[in-house]
Amino acid sequence: MYSVVELRETWDVAKDVKAFRLSRRFNFTPGQFVMVWLPGVGEKPFSLAWKDMIVVKRVGAFTSKLFELGEGERLWVRGPYGRGFESRGERIALVAGGIGIPPLYSLARAWRRDFEGITLIYGARSWEELALMDIENYVDEIAITTDDGSAGRRGFPTNVLKERKGEFDQVYACGPEPMLKAVLRVMNYRNVQISAERYMKCGIGVCGSCNLGKYLVCRDGPVFDGFQLRGLL
């Protein structure tokens, strides 16, 4: 069932990336998502970055229309859906690539007191695409990588993870699929939770559009333990 929510506030958080604060606060587990419907435009899934916030990258017709909306305008939202992250270990790493930062932002913000230490390893193509950098308030350390070397060190977040994986009890990752595959290989599919992405239509495990091997991402994920994805990613 949809909830009609108003936009309380919108603001830019990176190049072609906006945060949208909603009039409703959702009870959710970090890693879960909601389905957002715009009449006459369509419906898309978005990870919750916080109880009342989604963060969106402009990539097509739906998100372009969303970017046109302002304070007081309405969205239709259903959810939260799916399996979120599970809190494990004491020293953890959050590995984010590009617009994969929202569910890890919510994890750090919600669970920061559950861990002895949180390290964010965050990669993007350039400094302009680093979003939600106020995450520094919720983590103990940040290691930035950029493809062009415009911020942090030149390279990829998995380069840092490979060097430091022995420091962490658990790794949480979200980002482009090539990065997720590399994270899984670095961790040998152990002590890692991955937020996967597939095309979703229904969001509740009915239509089958988001199949990932034997799993449906909307129902069985979007968060998976590494061992579940062996041979699939």
Q: What is the CATH number for 96?
A: 3.40.50.80
Last residue within a domain, chosen from 26, 60, 81: 81
Are 74 and 100 in the same domain? no
**Which among 129, 133, 187, 126 is positioned nearest to 161, based on CA atoms?**
187
Range of the domain at 19: 3-81
- Total number of domains in the chain: 2
DSSP 25: P
**pLDDT for the residue 100:** 96
Structure tokens at 227: 């061992």
Are 100 and 186 in the same domain? yes
Last residue within a domain, chosen from 51, 81, 111: 81
201 belongs to a structural domain: no
Are 108 and 57 in the same domain? no
What are the tens digits of pLDDT across the range 102-150? 999 999 999 999 999 999 999 999 999 999 999 999 999 999 999 999 9
Are 98 and 174 in the same domain? yes
**Rounded distance between C-alpha atoms, residue 41 and residue 127, angstroms:** 32
Question: pLDDT > 90: what percent of the chain?
Answer: 88
**pLDDT for the residue 55:** 97
Are 106 and 72 in the same domain? no
- Quote the pTM value: 0.95
Checking if the pLDDT of 216 tops 90, the result is no
Structure tokens at 108: 């750090």
Are 119 and 189 in the same domain? yes
181 belongs to a structural domain: yes
38 belongs to a structural domain: yes
**pLDDT for the residue 35:** 96
Checking if the pLDDT of 202 tops 90, the result is no
Are 62 and 127 in the same domain? no
What are the tens digits of pLDDT across the range 28-45? 999 999 999 999 999 999
Last residue within a domain, chosen from 81, 103, 132: 81
Are 104 and 161 in the same domain? yes
Are 137 and 179 in the same domain? yes
**If pLDDT is split at 50, 70 and 90, which confidence band does 213 have?**
confident
**pLDDT for the residue 44:** 95
Are 8 and 28 in the same domain? yes
Are 155 and 134 in the same domain? yes
216 belongs to a structural domain: no
Query: How many CA atoms does the CB half-sphere of 195 hold within 13 Å?
Result: 31
